[in-house]
Amino acid sequence: MTIARILAFDDEAAQATALARALDAPLSVIERHRFPDGELRLRLPAALHGTVVLWRSLHQPNEKLVELMIAAPAARELGAQHLILVCPYLAYMRQDFAFRPGEAVSQRHVARLLAQAFETVVTVDPHLHRIASLDAVMPGSRGIALSAAGLLGAWAARRVPDPLLLGPDEESAPWVRAAAEAGAASVGRPRALDHAWCRKVRLGDRSVQVLLPADLPLSGRAVVLIDDMASTGHTLAIAARQCLDAGAASVDVAVTHALFVDDAQDLLVRCGVRHVWSTDCVPHTTSAISVVPLIAAAVRAAAGDEARRVGAPGISAP
């Protein structure tokens, strides 16, 4: 199935333009007007049809969620038949459990809201530590969770000689392992890059305890701290300082989602981090690794699957 149009907002036009080129589809930027009271007026193309892809990453998410809740039904009124949301950073996925009575499980509610608005949601490295798949919290919609672990591993392997990839906690183990395997493959090594992961105890939003793996030889090693996201940067900063104190020759950071609130990036530099690299899931000055090819392949496959499901002309149903 041909992608009829890509829609995006002006602050993410660069990423959406790259996706439009990869999919050979026209791009339209949704116009926004903010009224004095803070309400938004959106203006989409006057006529849409077929499969429409909307790119919106949900860092600083609250206003953007309102944009999506207006843009999606408006696109349908204007003729879109199938809506795919490309949401490289999917917000509220970390709130996946009620730790106290009455606490809202935001993961479930935000995911359901998006599932009601879009047939397909494509995202990268969402926080899914307590559920098997994105589909589990997106009833009636298809959730596609991609991983940038391989991209980060390959980037590190090509820029740091013989790196040691180090994850921040036990939950990152499969992800770091995948990065180590992809990194090795990218430089023709037969075995995975050296890799390990720390143990983390969260004491508060900006207070964590990080324990390096016992007996991990760090003297003279080039360490790359690798994670799915960096928000306050405190976990990475503590890990970096401990690695350097243990004799590491250098510490770099590679993350999928560079949220970097307040002085997070400066904090990493102050703690001795040499380079900070991130993907363009969240537009940032550290964005060096494009996820567009990864997303384009997933969108192309999702559009083809939908075409087969509805029996679109020229595509045989299975």
Q: Compute CA 260 distance to the chain's CA centroid, rounded to the nearest angstrom.
A: 14
Over its C-alpha atoms, the chain yields an Rg (Å, rounded) of 21
Which pLDDT belongs to residue 276?
A: 97
200 is catalytic: yes
Each residue's pLDDT tens digit in the chain (318 positions)?
A: 689 999 999 999 999 999 999 999 999 999 999 999 999 999 999 999 999 999 999 999 999 999 999 999 999 999 999 999 999 999 999 888 888 999 999 999 999 999 999 999 999 999 887 777 888 889 889 999 999 999 999 999 999 999 999 998 888 888 999 999 999 999 999 999 999 999 887 766 667 788 999 889 999 999 999 999 999 999 999 999 999 999 999 999 999 999 999 999 999 999 999 999 999 999 999 999 999 999 999 999 998 876 666 665 433 332
Which pLDDT belongs to residue 315?
A: 35
Q: Give the residue among 90, 99, 91, 96 at the shortest CA–CA distance from 136.
A: 96
Q: How far apart are CA 55 and CA 28, in angstroms?
A: 11
Q: How far apart are CA 256 and CA 224, in angstroms?
A: 13
Letter for the amino acid at 98? A
Which pLDDT belongs to residue 1?
A: 60
* DSSP designation for 192: P
Q: How far apart are CA 68 and CA 30, in angstroms?
A: 11
Q: What's phi and psi for 152, nearest 5 deg?
A: -65, -40
Which pLDDT belongs to residue 317?
A: 30
Q: How far apart are CA 70 and CA 241, in angstroms?
A: 45
What is the value of pTM for the model shown? Answer: 0.92
Q: How far apart are CA 72 and CA 172, in angstroms?
A: 34
Q: How far apart are CA 24 and CA 181, in angstroms?
A: 32
- All structural domains of the chain: 3-147+292-310 (3.40.50.2020), 149-289 (3.40.50.2020)
Cβ proximity of 216 and 243 under 8 Å:
no
* Annotated active-site residue in 82, 108, 127, 200: 200
Which pLDDT belongs to residue 314?
A: 37
